[in-house]
Amino acid sequence: MQTSWGEIEVSDAHIHFFSRAFFASLATQKEAQRTGAAAETAESIAAALGWQAPPSDAPALAANWVRELDRHGVQRAALIASIPSDENSVAEAVGAFPDRFYGYFMVNPLAPDAVNRVRAALGGGELHCICLFPAMQRFSIQDERVRPILEAAASFNALVFVHCGVLTVGVRAKLGLPSLFDMRFSNPLDLHAVALAFPQLRFVVPHFGAGFFREALMLCDLCPNVYLDTSSSNKWTRYQPETLDLQQVFRRALDVAGPQRLLFGSDSSFFPRGWNGTIFETQRHTLKSIGISTADARRIFGANLHQLMSS
């Protein structure tokens, strides 16, 4: 992609893969909420959201994303299975386009088959990262039931994505579905002892900690195996002092974590919007304004993600 630093390879570390299974899950939840109402389908859910209905299979959706990334000049992207038990959708997408995608999948470590699912998913070779959402599934990252999940990830040299801070799922709000999350489990400092206990694992905390920025920086300072992804509009800054804008966020993150541990992400998700280039442009402009070097821009906007996936 041609940028103000010249030609750099841009890769996105945070795209949600809203598969047909994702829409079907929402349809089932909506039906359960409205007993006796007409049956919901992936198409009716998409229509209610004003989104494009997904193709019938994961490779077709992946092909849509390839065309979208090509249109914007994006080299590769991490696709996130956004409900538990949908790892096969992302695995099929990565299998269809292995040179364009990395595979992430959500795991609920409290599920009785969680460890077996993780081992089976990572053993296939198409998936590279497990995603944990403690507030969503209402567990502590320090819970002993999480340890076997982390041990499985370590045995496959996988990444571990841990969502911290504020968690909102706009699609659920638009559909009138409850989001019974528990922010008691959202503090990045809960990850401190875990990251120390698993120094061989690489942990990714998205959205700069999503409101727990100070805590996320403390975690990064103490644990060199923790990375931050820069994804989304970062509206969590409204919870911080007025002096903390995105420019200051990047300055402090660069000072503490360094350019080697920041991963650009857009948090893109649905069609017809597709890839959210506005997020990229905002972050590009912000990093340019604080004068980062071309080498550091290349790291943040793509090289760091490639290195994580190849090491």
| Residue 53 is assigned to a structural domain of this protein | no
Tokens of 204: 């990714």
Interacting residues of 205 by C-beta distance below 8 A, sequence separation 6+: 161, 162, 163, 164, 188, 191, 216, 219, 226, 227, 228, 229
Partners of 268 in the β-ladder: 15
For residues 74, 208, 163, 78, the Cα torsion angle rounded to the nearest 10 degrees is 10
> 137 in a domain, yes or no?
yes
Provide the residue range defining the domain that includes 184.
2-18+61-310
For tokens 């590009």, what's the residue? Answer: 284
In a domain, residue 47? The reply is: no
> How far is it, in rounded angstroms, from Cα 14 to Cα 121?
19
Instruction: Using CB atoms within 10 Å of the CB of residue 270, give its burial: 0 to 12 exposed, 13 to 18 middle, 19+ buried.
Output: middle
What CATH number is given to the structural domain containing 163? Answer: 3.20.20.140
Predicted confidence at residue 172, as pLDDT, reads 93
pLDDT (tens digit, 9 = 90+) per residue, 36-64? 567 899 999 999 999 999 999 999 999 99
DSSP secondary structure letter of residue 183? G
37: in domain: no
Which residue do the tokens 């092909």 mark? Answer: 63
Q: At what angle do helices 42-49 and 20-33 cross, to 10 degrees?
A: 90
pLDDT tens by residue, 268-297? 999 999 999 999 999 999 999 999 999 999
DSSP-derived pairing of the beta strands 6-7 and 2-3: antiparallel
Task: Lowest mean pLDDT of 17-26, 38-47, 109-118, name the range.
Answer: 38-47
- The answer to whether residue 56 sits within a structural domain is no
Q: For 118-167, how does the pLDDT look when each residue is reduced to its tens digit (9 = 90+)?
A: 999 999 999 999 999 999 999 999 999 999 999 999 999 999 999 999 99
Residue 3 sits at the vertex; the CA angle it makes with 207 and 220, to the nearest 5 degrees, is: 30
Mean pLDDT of the chain: 95
Q: Is residue 32 part of a domain?
A: no
CA 243 to CA 292: how far, in whole Å?
21
* pLDDT at residue number 39: 82
Q: How far apart are CA 8 and CA 22, in angstroms?
A: 33
Q: Do 127 and 94 form a contact (C-beta atoms < 8 A)?
A: yes
Q: Choose among 104, 105, 163: nearest CA to 136.
A: 163
The pTM score is 0.96
What residue type is assigned to position 249 of the chain?
V
50 lies in some domain: no
For residue 43, being part of any structural domain is answered with no
Specify the pLDDT at position 37: 61
Q: Ramachandran region of residue 165, left (φ > 0), alpha (ψ -120 to 50) or beta?
A: left
Q: For tokens 């590279």, what's the residue?
A: 128
Count structural domains, the chain. Answer: 1
CA separation for the pair 251, 298 (Å, rounded): 17
DSSP state of 242: T
100: tokens are: 């364009």
